[in-house]
Structure 1
């Protein structure tokens, strides 16, 4: 049995009988995750002063979702692979934000434009970080903002370098239009993504908001998998529909530097 000073043990003050169903399930999961060896049903029930029937119901539910596994030979329970998968996903997001932050500031200082970092969270492309630019224009982009895959520079990077099947699943759904420049034709979008893949950067001039453009490049990790996209956002006067070479090189260099810090081999 675990040391009684652990928050997931009976030292909780014997609250198990009075806690919510979810609370008990989460404490059981934490107990298994921190245990040095698989635990028998009776051990787990005793740890929380709960009936074996109650604990068994929680274990079966968590096992069905991959959070708990049962040894087919001994019948004992341990934490499942799902915890590792989720932990790695979260660690990756935190690592990339930490690694990117100083480079986003440098990119903002060198270009004068707002800089952003985005990642795919479940099925949504979400802004993880924003460094305000020197422009007084509000582009309505904040951490937590969801971006359209087909109509943003960030999104085009994910369609070009992200998970297999993402492009096809995107074009198989209706492509919303925000301006006359938004790419809503699947064939046109496929051609655009092909160009992004070959040149290594993307832009989306006036595709969501008139007078606004963004320029984005991919960030890869040690597995050479896309983990984020870096972008500068500004007016079309500052970032034209055909961005100048210096801006492109600055954004691509920023993304590359972050990638190298994350262990990318190039």
Structure 2
């Protein structure tokens, strides 16, 4: 299995600027692999959009999927560079850590983080993945997903991260509906013990939810009467970031 995967990935490296198209037989000769094996690999890549076959020449070339992945990578790299200064200012204003969580399939992924300067703080690793049904940063994304996607996430199983994680489907759906109605989410200890989160959604140009912006820290530093001020600062940052996103999308 690993040998097959290695050969398949090696095959893609033959598609270069200098040689963007290959026929089945000529690529088989170049790789010194049998024609049927090369054909199966090419057909599989074509089926998933990584390659396409020219209708006239019958040769293969890179497909639209690579363009999509390239755009995602380019956008994410530029997005973090553009958004981070806003996150840093918000972290300084609130004294808490600020997290940018990006939607990736049916999970969240920490794309960037501006840490609190306080001695006791909440931190998570950039690149770490999170479940969309637990914690403010995740649920504020899930709340804006289509119902069938919400159902698919729930169908995979609701597993507790802490004893405050909502595991009842109906209760979770009601919570998501409330979050969507109010436009922000607040949680304490749902994903990590003794950690609060206040989160707002971020949207693409076509109004699809793509990420969330979250203030997070030790729960003892965010009593109920401090939430409104933190939320105001968070929403100001949200508006600034949405303006930036509109300019680069």
Instruction: Give the shorter-chain TM-score range.
Output: 0.7 to 0.9
Q: Does 1:110 align with 2:99?
A: no
Contact 2:141 2:210 in 1 (8 A): no
What RMSD in Å do the two structures reach over aligned CA positions? 2.8
Residues 227 and 35 (structure 1), Cα distance of their counterparts in 2 relative to 1, 3 Å cut: farther
Q: Does 1:27 align with 2:13?
A: yes
Cα deviations by residue, 1:160-183 (Å, 9 ceiling, x for unpaired): 123553321233343222434321
State the alpha-carbon separation in 2 of the partners of residues 203 and 55 from structure 1.
53
Q: Does 1:210 align with 2:193?
A: yes
Counterpart in the other structure of 1:12 = none
State the alpha-carbon separation in 2 of the partners of residues 85 and 164 from structure 1.
25
The range that moved more, 132-141 or 147-156, is 132-141
Instruction: Classify the secondary structure of the residue corresponding to 2:49.
Output: coil
TM normalised by structure 2 equals 0.83
Larger Rg: 1
Residues 132 and 44 (structure 1), Cα distance of their counterparts in 2 relative to 1, 3 Å cut: same
Q: Does 1:101 align with 2:101?
A: no
Instruction: Classify the secondary structure of the residue corresponding to 2:141.
Output: helix
- The structural deviation recorded for 1:256 is 2.1
- The structural deviation recorded for 1:124 is 2.5
Cα deviations by residue, 1:67-122 (Å, 9 ceiling, x for unpaired): 11113343132221221222223233223222211111010011010111111223
TM normalised by structure 1 equals 0.78
Cα deviations by residue, 1:35-79 (Å, 9 ceiling, x for unpaired): 697554566568x47578265454233223321111334313222
Instruction: Classify the secondary structure of the residue corresponding to 2:13.
Output: helix
- The structural deviation recorded for 1:201 is 0.9
Give the unaligned 5+ runs of structure 2: 1-5
Number of aligned positions between the proteins = 242
Q: Does 1:253 align with 2:236?
A: yes
Give the unaligned 5+ runs of structure 1: 1-19
Counterpart in the other structure of 2:246 = 263
- The structural deviation recorded for 1:261 is 0.7
Compare the two structures and name the one with the higher helix fraction. Answer: 2
1:29-44 alignment runs, 5 A limit: 30-31=15-16, 34=17, 40-41=23-24
